[in-house]
Structure 1
Amino acid sequence: MMPLNLALLLVLGSPPHDEEPGTAPLEQAVISASPTAESAHQLAEALTAAEAEALELVQDADALALLDRARLALASIYLALGDSTKAAAAMDEVIRSAMGRDVGAGSFGPTVLELYERRLQALQDTGTSTIAIVCHGCEVIINEAHVTDPATPLYLGSYRVWVVFTDPRRAPTHLEIELSEPGIVARRSFLAVSQSPRDAPEVNSEGTARLLPRWAELTMASAGAVAMISGVVLASLNGKCRGDARGGDSETCPQLYHNRPQDIVLIGLGTTAVVAAGVVLTIDEVRVGRARGHQAMLTWTTRF
């Protein structure tokens, strides 16, 4: 059997002398790859470092092809080590990262090609979801590929997303998005004048905001409860003596409590506020719950 590093050298060819600094470590890691855990670790680290340079590599077809080959090399190493779980996970990353590109899995031999075809079928059977980035004056990069169609179907799994703004005052934003269920839309909205993304759970699946902020609804309910309790207390004091009645006879009391109509007003206003807050809070929680069912079944990690 041909040694893995020799096979990779034949696939990749000799390393060029004018390598880009961002891809040179990755190319060296691929060329020197061997079926060992240490080599797999080094290649994985080199891939992570190269992926962090997505903004520089996205326009470089040769760099993207190198990324594809490096990911295939990592999958082939895991196959050689007999680790089918890691090999499958690595091949899934090959397929997701390719974003429809032909990665040339067959050039790594029939075993790697068979794994590629099997994992591609598995991802297709699992279903797809979409990532929708809503912003003004920006471009979206998913897994080192420009994306112009927000309806692009994506296989389930993790995606590296860059949002690059045309406004030079705004730094690019990096998101890691996990698509965990088929048929959902991972929506992330950016305000026109802020670099901070708007959290999806604050908007329902149709994009309608809450009727009131949650803190306002809870404040209204609390204030209503206080007013209602105060009214009940005042009502309980009606007709009772404010001072000491001689012999306990209320007829001899110097002054009685007269809290009407204040008690009735407070009870009425308090009850109304509690009921209104409860209704609005219930409606908003149901709407947000639906939005979470479509959007918040995701893991968002925002990096600046």
Structure 2
Amino acid sequence: MFHTLLFSSLLLFTPPEGAGEAPAEAAGNATPTNFSEANALLLKLTKNSRLPTEQAIPALRAAIESSHEYAPSFAADEEARERQVSALLLLARELQRSGENEEAAAVMDEAIRTARDDTPNAGQFGPTLEELHDERMSHIEAAGVAQLKVDCARACKIYVDERMSEEAQELPLGEYRVWVEDVSGKFSALRVTARLTEVDEVVTVRYAPKPKPKVEALELQVPEASKKPERERLLAGWGELILAGVGAGGVVGGSVLIHEAKEDGGRSGGYALVVIGGGLYLTGVILAIVDETRASKRDKRKQKAKDKRKVELGWPIRF
């Protein structure tokens, strides 16, 4: 008996399936990123969705708005256009159920204008929605029409509410999404909302496109690490000769002083002079050798580059 009561209590407090799901997760309506995804979302919501009204309304709105982003693709796909109208009818029905009658009427008007000559099949979603359709259709017909004209400066394609359209056409009063694009694809498309508010007025949309901005690869010149210019010589040639000469003179002078000191039997500073003079002489000679070697290598590189230019500029003559 205790186990039966415990089991019954658990059933009472078990949440119903699907409770707590976020609307987006329940609908699976992640924002589409291309026409295929937008079309698939419309198909799911119009054919397989059993969402509660509070979840269906935002899901349908999002799917319908996504369809506006792919006018050329929807214009080329009859089934996709039918799904778009069905989604509008479903949205109108859900708005009716939630008591938002004015909003439902506005959505029904959009469905009628979007479908154009193809009468929306509102009856498939119930008699109440069909009555709303007939009522709004009578209202739209009584309101009259105006002319929407698209003036293209170059060959263009025109889409109105995701339907292929002519440059000039009579339409019921209301708002229309206008998409105009260059036939060659070299220019940017134009997307505007045209509002027809007065009977027999002519609303003109002008399309004079500018070339799409070219994205050119910029060649960035990264400065090389700063280098001190290579010196042609470590010491001027005349300086090396003087250095070697002074050093040789010091060696000779020091040697003389040492010799005289030996004859006199005294000490002499000639040794220091010999050491200093020898150092100066060796320094001058080594610098001269290094500089001459570097100069010789530079001359060879210059000659090689000159020979290469001669080959590149040479003109072969054949007989």
**TM-score range relative to shorter protein:** 0.5 to 0.7
Look up the match of 1:90: 107
1:129 and 1:107 mapped to 2: Cα distance?
Answer: 31
The count of aligned residue pairs is: 176
1:100-249 to structure 2, matched below 5 A, reads 100-135=117-152, 136-148=154-166, 150=168, 152-191=169-208, 194=210
Report the AA paired with residue 79 of structure 1. Answer: Q
Gaps of 5+ in 2: 1-34, 213-319
Report the AA paired with residue 131 of structure 1. Answer: L
Is the 8 Å Cα contact of residues 38 and 67 (structure 2) preserved in structure 1?
A: yes
Shift of 1:167: 2.5
Is the 8 Å Cα contact of residues 99 and 143 (structure 1) preserved in structure 2?
A: no
Shift of 1:195: 6.5
What is the DSSP-based 3-state SS (H/G/I as helix, E as strand, rest coil) of the residue aligned with 1:131?
A: strand
2:60 pairs, out of 43, 64, 81, with 43
2:42 and 2:167 mapped to 1: Cα distance?
Answer: 30
Larger Rg: 2
Q: For residues 69-89 of structure 1, what are the alpha-carbon distances to aligned partners after superposition, in whole Å with 9 as ceiling and x for unaligned?
A: 111100111111222111101
1:26 pairs, out of 30, 38, 42, with 42
2:174 and 2:68 mapped to 1: Cα distance?
Answer: 16
Look up the match of 2:85: 68
Q: For residues 198-249 of structure 1, what are the alpha-carbon distances to aligned partners after superposition, in whole Å with 9 as ceiling and x for unaligned?
A: xxxxxxxxxxxxxxxxxxxxxxxxxxxxxxxxxxxxxxxxxxxxxxxxxxxx
What is the DSSP-based 3-state SS (H/G/I as helix, E as strand, rest coil) of the residue aligned with 1:52?
A: helix
Q: For residues 135-176 of structure 1, what are the alpha-carbon distances to aligned partners after superposition, in whole Å with 9 as ceiling and x for unaligned?
A: 1201211011111261x2211111111102113211221111
1:195 and 1:124 mapped to 2: Cα distance?
Answer: 41
1:121 and 1:195 mapped to 2: Cα distance?
Answer: 45
Identity across the alignment (%): 27
1:85 and 1:51 mapped to 2: Cα distance?
Answer: 23
1:149 and 1:124 mapped to 2: Cα distance?
Answer: 22
Q: For residues 23-43 of structure 1, what are the alpha-carbon distances to aligned partners after superposition, in whole Å with 9 as ceiling and x for unaligned?
A: 112222333254523320111
Q: 1:195 to 1:35 in 2, by over 3 A?
A: farther
Report the AA paired with residue 42 of structure 1. Answer: A
2:107 and 2:185 mapped to 1: Cα distance?
Answer: 36
Is the 8 Å Cα contact of residues 33 and 43 (structure 1) preserved in structure 2?
A: no
- Higher relative CO (Cα under 8 Å, sequence separation at least 6) belongs to 1
Q: 1:34 to 1:81 in 2, by over 3 A?
A: farther
Is the 8 Å Cα contact of residues 151 and 167 (structure 2) preserved in structure 1?
A: no
Is the 8 Å Cα contact of residues 96 and 155 (structure 1) preserved in structure 2?
A: yes
Q: 1:113 to 1:195 in 2, by over 3 A?
A: farther
Gaps of 5+ in 1: 1-18, 197-304
Look up the match of 1:280: none
1:59 and 1:29 mapped to 2: Cα distance?
Answer: 21
Q: 1:106 to 1:195 in 2, by over 3 A?
A: farther
Look up the match of 1:270: none
Shift of 1:95: 0.6
Look up the match of 1:99: 116
1:177 and 1:82 mapped to 2: Cα distance?
Answer: 30
Shift of 1:53: 1.2
Q: For residues 41-100 of structure 1, what are the alpha-carbon distances to aligned partners after superposition, in whole Å with 9 as ceiling and x for unaligned?
A: 111011101121112111101100100111110011111122211110110010111121
Give the TM-score, by structure 2 length. 0.52
Give the TM-score, by structure 1 length. 0.54
